[in-house]
Structure formats: structure tokens, C-alpha cells
Copies of this chain bind each other. A is one copy, B any other.
Amino acid sequence: VAQWSAPDAQMEAFVDDLIAKMTLDEKIGQLTLLTSDWESTGPTMRDTYKQDIRSGRVGAIFNAYTADYTRELQKVAVENHRLKIPLLFGYDVIHGHRTIFPISLGEAASWDMEAIEKSARVSALEATAEGIHWTFSPMVDIARDARWGRISEGAGEDVYLGSKIARARVRGYQGDDLRATDTLLATAKHFAGYGAAQAGRDYHTVDISERTLRDVYLPPFQATVDEGVATFMTSFNEYDGVPASGSRYLLTDVLRDQWGFDGFVVTDYTSINEMVPHGYARDLKQAGEQALNAGVDMDMQGAVFMENLAKSVEQGLVDVADIDTAVRRILEMKYRLGLFEDPYRYADNARQEATLYKPEFLEAARDVARKSMVLLKNEGNVLPLAASAKRIAVIGPLGNSKPDMIGSWAAAGDRGTRPVTVFEGMQANARDGVNVEYVKGASYEFADEGKTDGFAEALALAERSDVIVAAMGEKWDMTGEAASRTSLDLPGNQQALLEQLVATGKPVVLVVLSGRPNSITWADENVPAILHAWYPGTQGGHAIADVVYGDYNPSGKLPVTFPRTVGQAPIHYDMKRTGRPIELGEPGAKYVSRYLNTSNDPLYRFGYGLSYTTFGYSPVVLSAPSMGAGGTITASATIANTGDVAGEEVVQLYVRDLVGSVTRPVQELKGFEKIELQPGESRTVSFSIKPADLAFTRQDMTHGWEPGEFELWIAPSSGAEASTPVTFTLTE
């Protein structure tokens, strides 16, 4: 149970009293969340919505911010209505509010919980300073299909890493004390299974087993409950034929009864309404009944509760007691934030002025950005750039594009002027005597495939340069919501230019800016150095320069598998072994589980990432060869920096349960630690494993561990080849 949900008799009396005074319409108002709008002239509110606020028909507003504007709206709510119930202000603060950090998937690549928590904390400081109480973040959806655009918004494919990151983000947003005015309520979204959209198409149907739901998709959500997350958001997809916003199984059986969640549940945008096109509800009224009765507390923007719920009560299809329960959850959250004491406590102009874009926030954004970058290839140590590289060519559509630096969900971040581009960063951080020039050269627009305008100019620059930094990838809105692709290739004519740049014979560094794994298979074979930079945020260009010039030694590791081709999707490291694993056949054997002409292996594995130094791993030492129910095994390995520069390494612990009552993944991440080592330094990293860490949904659908043999790796990445496993036994 979360700290904030401890019993509070005073609060209960207050809320009881308030609910007793409320009309049914006012209760339904508390379950209603509506949007504000923004025009070029500033924030606006539709007249009808303003009237709704005035009359107590809306309890929460999203997309409204700034101290002034939220104060203005709050005034309408509390000074025009006898009950004086304050509004709750929500907003999509996803990877930064004003100061934009790397996209969530990029942050995940840091494997650095402090950095991720810091990012969320800075987001909360900025957002709450502008009157915002509540963010629709973190998204904790496991995603294993790179076609799906929202893969960029989560923490990748892994249950364990995803759960750790989910907790770090909740901590960062909410802090320790809901009453602090810099507390930003977090939302675990999208509940649940959204990442399994068929063929990677956003909003498409999800069909997975309950076992997979429980073992793969739910754990990060449960982790947020354990961390005390205040709210949950339902997902757009169906699970087992039922849209999530109508799923009593998800919203009540699992979330309330099994996990004991005490906060409130909001829908995603109009997702109650969408139960009609889903073919689950006959009409909006029934959709509202299904949602409320399933366990939805708040209706985002659909106005379904507002317009139908009273009638449903009248007809006996919804019980007022259930409405009261939802109202209570929402009022309690407002109470806990202190809004009944002072509805304006988040609207503080002085604080706002002092907070936004603080230098330390910008520095944090730069630091998290460079920590998020993953060095995928570095043949001949092309990176960091040699001092002899005096003429640097930055080429590519992502080389000097401010909007693209910050990815989708820029929140209130400035997309147009503040972001530091690759070119700007490379220039600003260049050593004396180094000249950096930029030519766009190519385009990422789909429609420009086949065109070669700009190639000549780019090639001319390449010819007169010592090294080429090709900044390529995807346009910022090619990932994110409703941004699914059927191909993972570099869009537009970038690949063609890249091939011509390589053909010049000049060393090429490919810096990929993208929100998804791209199938850069040709580049992997032909370009000497590749750095995946995601969308690195406001300070992105500086962060890229830090890595490229060697002011920062890259330490990121992939939180998702990079496929060789879209034809391998979905793909993830923790797959099952199957009955005919390729490694059991002779080379080239036919009757094994493989494709005819594509390797089963991905282009880059989960957990993979290089450094400017090298690390050596000792064999793993176990504290004991076996453990029983109450036992623990400690696994240790000594990691040495075997190169010439200091560097950080994410040491990863993987386990395989060899035989189960259901088949088990070939590897599962069960621990990791990011360490820094000076050249020649070594350190022993130890991980404790308890039986509970090895639990899963057993054949009979109970959750628990099973005795048997296990393999264990301490390794620099996933993949059985990454190191040699040791074996231990778990006894009854």
C-alpha cells in the first residue's frame, strides 16, 4: 500500500461530508476530465466547458498550464460554485515539461535509475511550477514490435528493466510527499497490453494469452502500484475481446482486488466512446455503464459519463454507490494534494519564473541525453573523433533540425528555437582549429524516396572534409502515437545518400536520431561507426557532441532488440527456445526454427552497447550451488576496464529456468548494475537471487517458482554468446 493511502480519518470525514452534499450531476462532474485548448493568442477554454466548470460538471482539466491560466480556471471552479471543489490539472509531461529530456525509450537506454528519476523530478519541478498537478506518465507498456510508433514512449521490451524504470519515474514525479507543491501525480499507462498491437499498427487488436499478460505486460504496472503511483490510465486496445476501458477483469479483479491499488483510474482520450466502434457497446450510454461498472473512475474528454450516467442511474444500470466510490477516490486525491486547503497552491508566479529552464535543468538534460546514447559500432575507433579531424562535415536531414531533436510529446517544450541541433552542438563544442560545416543533403520524407536533390552538395562537402557525421533517422513524428510504420528502414532518400557518402572513402560516423529500432543492416556492414542518439531533447546537440568528441564515454545499452528487417518483427531477447532451436541443428540445417535467408539473430541484441574502452568479465562465482525456499544465492563476477580510458559499464544478470511446468524464456534479465571503472581498474559486482526472483505464472496459473536447474550469466548484453553461464539448483 502506498504511503499516501494510509488511513486519514480527517480526510474521510471531510470527503463523506462533501459527498453527502453533492447532487448526482455534481458527482458525475468529478468523474469528468475535459481539455483546454491553445490558440496562437494563448490558452483558451470553450465556452461550454467554462460553463461546465462553473456548474460543477467537470472535476479536472488537462492541457491547461501556466500559473496564471490555471489560477484563472481554478477561480471559475471554486468561486462560482457552492461546493468549491478545486479542479485537478493534468498534462502530458512525458519526457520533460519545458526542458525536454530524451524520449522515454532513450532514457531507458541509460539503464541509470538515478538519471531517469532525475529527469522525472525536473519534469515535475517545471510542470508543477506552471500549475500542473498530474502527468499522464509514465507509459510502462512493454513493446516488442518496432513497427509500433509508441515503442518510443516506453522503456522497451523487458519486464525487469521496464519495472525498475517505471518505479524510478513514479518516484521522480511524485516525490515522497503528495502534499509537497512540487508533487506531480503520476499515471501508469496504458493498462494493459497496448504494446502487443497486431502487426505493430497503433490501436489495433491485441490477442495474447493471459499467461503472457501476467508475465510480460502486467509486471511494470504492478511495480508502479508498489511504488505508490496515484493514477492509472486505461488503454485503447481490447484484451480478451473486451476493450480495456470496459474490462472489469483488468480494472477491478487485477488492479484493485489483486494489487490493492488505491488511486483513481482515468481512461485514455475518448476511450469510453470508442467502445461503440469496438463493437462492445451498443451506444454511448451503455459504454458509460460498462466503463463505470468495470472500474473506471474518470472519463477523459469523452463526456460519456457527463451526458449519460445520470440516466443509467435512473434506469438502475449503474449503482450510485459505485459512483460514490469513484468520486471519493478523486476527491481524496485532491485532498491529499492540499487543494481543498488552497486550490491555488500550484499557481505561484514567482516560483514559475524561478523554475523554468533553470541552468541545472538544462545541464541535467544534457547529462541524461549523453547517458542515453548507445554506441552500436566503432570499427577502428573512428570515435571519438581524432584530433587530426579538422574539417567535420555534418550531413543529413537530422543534422540541423530543431524540431526533430525532441521527439514526440514535447509537452510545453519549445520545439522551434531552444533545441540545440547536432550541427550546433558540434560547432559549439569543437576544439580550436576545427571547422564544422553542415549540408542537409537528403530527406527523411517518405515522398522523397528516389530523389537525389542535395546529394551533390553533400558529396562536395564530404570530399573537402576529414570525417563525415551523418545525422540520419526518422522525422520526430514518425514514432509516438498513431505513428506506426510497415518498414523500419531509414525513410526517404537517406540510405541512398549514406551509400554515396561511404563510397567517398571518408570515415563516416552515422548518428541515428529515431524513436524506434531501425533496420540499419547495410550501415552495420558498411559504416565504421554508428551512434544511436534517439531524440535527445533540448540539449541534444551538445550531448551528441560530448560523445562524438570524446568528452563523454558512451555507456548506453539497448532496451530493445534491433531487428535486421521488419520481417523479423516482433522480436525480443527473452523468447522461448522452441522444440527445434537453430543451435541444435547442423549449420544450415533445414528442419530447425529459422528463416530461409535471414538470420534468427537480430542486428543488435537487447542489452548491447559499446564504450570507448573495453571491459573484461571474469567467470561467474556462485555463493552456493543450490538454494531452497528460504535461500539466497549470490552471483559475482569481476569486471575490469581493459582499455585506455575511464568508462561505465552496465553489468547484466540473466537467468534461464531450464525446465518448467510451462516453457520458459531462453534468458530473463534479473539484475543489472551500472559501474564506472578507471583504466586498469576492476570491480566485483554481486547479485543476490532469491526463489521469488524466479517466479512466473505456472501451468495452474498460480504465481511462484518451481524447483529445478537454472543457468545464470553475468554479461555485457543478452544472448547466450555474451558470456558463459554457470548452473545452480533451486530445491523444494
Contact = CB atoms under 8 A, between A and B. Distances in A.
Contact of A278 (B149, B487, B565, B578): B578
A467 B149 CA distance: 45
Report the contact-size class of chain A (Cβ under 8 Å from the partner).
35 or more
Interface stretch (A233-241, A458-466, A507-515, A724-732): A233-241
Interface in A567-602: 567-571, 575-581, 584, 590-598, 600
A236 B659 contact: no
Interface in A472-486: 478, 481-486
Contact of A664 (B271, B279, B596): B279
B209 A486 contact: no
Interface in A541-579: 564-571, 575-579
A238 B663 contact: yes
A677 interface: no
A363 interface: no
A486 B204 contact: no
B481 A591 contact: yes
Contacts of A200: 567
Interface in A255-305: 271, 274-275, 277-282
Contacts of A664: 279
A491 B592 CA distance: 21
A24 interface: no
A659 B626 CA distance: 54
B581 A199 contact: no
B595 A486 contact: yes
Nearest to A566: B567
A211 B242 CA distance: 11
Given A199-B569, A271-B579, A570-B199, A207 B208 contact: yes
Contact of A568 (B199, B279, B659, B661): B199
B484 A595 contact: yes
A237 B593 CA distance: 11
Contacts of A130: none
Nearest to A481: B591
A526 interface: no
A213 to B, nearest CB: 9
Contact of A280 (B201, B482, B592, B660): B660
A580 B279 contact: no
Interface string A639-664: 00000000000000000011111111
A482 B699 contact: no
Nearest to A479: B596
Contact of A205 (B199, B565, B575, B661): B575
B484 A596 contact: yes
Nearest to A249: B699
Contacts of A69: none
Nearest to A489: B567
Contacts of A661: 241
A202 interface: yes
Contact of A594 (B201, B275, B567, B580): B201
B211 A241 contact: yes
A537 to B, nearest CB: 23
A594 B199 CA distance: 11
Given A486-B595, A662-B240, A274 B579 contact: yes
A205 B242 CA distance: 24
A246 to B, nearest CB: 10
A277 B581 contact: yes
Given A278-B577, A281-B659, A202 B593 contact: yes
A596 B483 contact: yes
Given A198-B570, A481-B591, A663-B243, A279 B203 contact: no
A210 interface: yes
B598 A486 contact: yes
Contacts of A484: 594-596
Contacts of A578: 203-205, 236-237, 277-278
A167 interface: no
Interface of A: 147, 149, 198-205, 207-212, 236-238, 240-243, 271, 274-275, 277-282, 446, 478, 481-487, 491, 564-571, 575-581, 584, 590-598, 600, 657-664, 699, 708
| Nearest 8 A/B pairs, CB to CB | A486-B567, A241-B662, A274-B579, A203-B593, A486-B598, A205-B576, A446-B597, A203-B580
Given A236-B579, A278-B576, A481-B591, 12 more contacts: A203-B578, A204-B578, A205-B576, A205-B578, A209-B210, A237-B579, A238-B662, A271-B579, A280-B662, A482-B590, A482-B594, A485-B567
